A and B are shown apart, each in its own frame.
Chain A
Amino acid sequence: EAGVAQSPRYKIIEKRQSVAFWCNPISGHATLYWYQQILGQGPKLLIQFQNNGVVDDSQLPKDRFSAERLKGVDSTLKIQPAKLEDSAVYLCASRSTASGYTFGSGTRLTVV
């Protein structure tokens, strides 16, 4: 089966600009996660979707971050406006009961 697809792979923006990341999970995976991985640290959950509904967004900085999964398939994570501390790798993962969690390769964001 195809893996979790993410784009872009890399993005460099200036602080206060906006940016969007896209994720297409494995076909049939109802649960989708966005994680933030700061250099040298483990991934930290930002938001979890079950189909097109939000299950947990308690760690999402909602003043600047937003995410949607309108049709319950692909998802978009947006940051507006970006801060220097948002520089990180943004990982998307999807899960099914049968196959567990699968991560994409991530989008590396650099805010300058």
Chain B
Amino acid sequence: GENVEQHPSTLSVQEGDSAVIKCTYSDSASNYFPWYKQELGKGPQLIIDIRSNVGEKKDQRIAVTLNKTAKHFSLHITETQPEDSAVYFCAARSNNAGNMLTFGGGTRLMVKP
């Protein structure tokens, strides 16, 4: 089955700096890669996603890049703000697995004011 690795597990940045979180996946049949933000006591909330026919997608301060050859994708947050502090999860979905999402282990992002 699919295996998703996520790094780093914790990331501390100064407000205004950029943050980058990286994920790798194992199943070459995976074609959908969402990123979720999870705040304390809440469920994961989708912040951006990318499909396998696209190399990059941007939404204001958030961007995601995908390298299908290397089987890795990354989340980039620019001009970080304290409210960006949360746990971020990457995920991958393979058509071989009934459209289920396989999640990475999560990254705790702390933005210091």
**Which residues of A are at the interface with B, using a C-beta cutoff of 8 A?**
4, 31, 33, 40-45, 48, 55-56, 91, 93, 95, 100-106
| A42, B103: Cβ atoms closer than 8 Å | yes
- How many residues from B make CB contacts under 8 Å with A? 23
Shortest C-beta distance, B42 to chain A (Å), equals 5
Q: A100-B34, A100-B49, A101-B34 are in contact. Are A43 and B100 (CB under 8 A)?
A: no
| A105, B42: Cβ atoms closer than 8 Å | yes
| A104, B89: Cβ atoms closer than 8 Å | no
| A42, B100: Cβ atoms closer than 8 Å | no
Q: A104-B43, A106-B43 are in contact. Are A44 and B103 (CB under 8 A)?
A: yes
Closest 4 CB pairs of A and B: A42-B103, A103-B43, A56-B98, A105-B43
For A102, list chain B residues within 8 Å (CB).
46
Our pick among A31, A42, A45, A106 for the contact of B106 (Cβ within 8 Å) is: A42
Q: A100-B49, A103-B45 are in contact. Are A42 and B99 (CB under 8 A)?
A: no
Candidate in A42, A55, A100, A103 with the most chain B CB atoms within 10 angstroms: A42
Q: Give the A-B contact count at a CB cut-off of 8 A.
A: 51
Our pick among A42, A55, A93 for the contact of B98 (Cβ within 8 Å) is: A55
| B44, A56: Cβ atoms closer than 8 Å | no
B62 beta carbon closer than 8 Å to chain A? no
For B49, list chain A residues within 8 Å (CB).
100
Give bound CA distance, A103 to B42, whole Å: 9
For A101, list chain B residues within 8 Å (CB).
34, 46, 101
| A42, B41: Cβ atoms closer than 8 Å | no
For A40, list chain B residues within 8 Å (CB).
106
Give bound CA distance, A4 to B43, whole Å: 10
| B44, A41: Cβ atoms closer than 8 Å | no
B97 beta carbon closer than 8 Å to chain A? yes
Given contacts A33-B100, A42-B89, A100-B34, 12 further A-B contacts (CB under 8 A): A4-B43, A33-B101, A41-B105, A42-B106, A43-B44, A43-B89, A45-B101, A45-B102, A48-B100, A55-B98, A93-B43, A103-B36
